[in-house]
Amino acid sequence: MIEALVSAEIPVMGHLGLTPQSVNVLGGFRVQAKNVEDAAVLIEDAQLLEKAGVFAIVLEGIPDVAARLVTESIDVPTIGIGAGPHTDGQVLVFHDLVGLENGVRPKFVRRYAELAEDATKAVSAYASDVRSGLFPNQSETYHASSAVTEEISIYGSKLNS
């Protein structure tokens, strides 16, 4: 399938280790490739993905040594998320990074802000302003010229008759 997508000029990024879409098959949100056999399979899978034509591979939820060995064994960039410092790049889920999620936080997530409370307050204030008619106000509204307003009003009254 990857070869077909790549030959159709559709870029493909691989994803190995913990794949959240398959979490039920993997036994939950658990670190993957924690033993020699699984790490060897991970490395082989990365090499197969590279051979198939992926432009990069996300390595998620794996030990740092496995990520390092994958990165050293292939020429396409590796992007780590919960894979230690030995990948070509790093990524975090935006909502985790800025603190918009209050649920379980994986070990590898570093929060750079706690925006959930501020975001909740902002959305509540917005909803309150809309319900009370305070938003939008005149300065937040586009207005037509008086001539256009008059002409549109005449047209509107003809539609209602």
DSSP-based three-state secondary structure for 15: strand
Please count the CA atoms within 13 angstroms of the CA of 51 that sit on its side-chain side.
Answer: 7
pLDDT score of 13 = 98
Higher-pLDDT residue of 47 and 151 is 47
Give the class (CATH, top level) of 2-92.
alpha beta
Catalytic residue list: 60
Q: Supply the pLDDT for residue 102.
A: 78
What are the tens digits of pLDDT across the range 87-139? Answer: 999 999 999 999 998 777 888 999 999 999 999 999 999 999 999 999 999 99
Q: Provide the pLDDT for residue 161.
A: 64
**Distance between CA atoms of 5 and 57, rounded to whole angstroms?**
16
What is the spatial distance between Cα 96 and Cα 89, in angstroms, rounded to a whole number?
Answer: 18
Domain ranges across the chain: 2-92, 118-159
pLDDT of residue 26: 62
What's the pLDDT score for residue 30?
Answer: 83
Residue range 4-38, pLDDT digits in tens: 999 999 999 999 999 877 666 666 678 889 999 99
Query: Could you tell me which of 36, 42, 74 has the C-alpha nearest to residue 55?
Result: 74
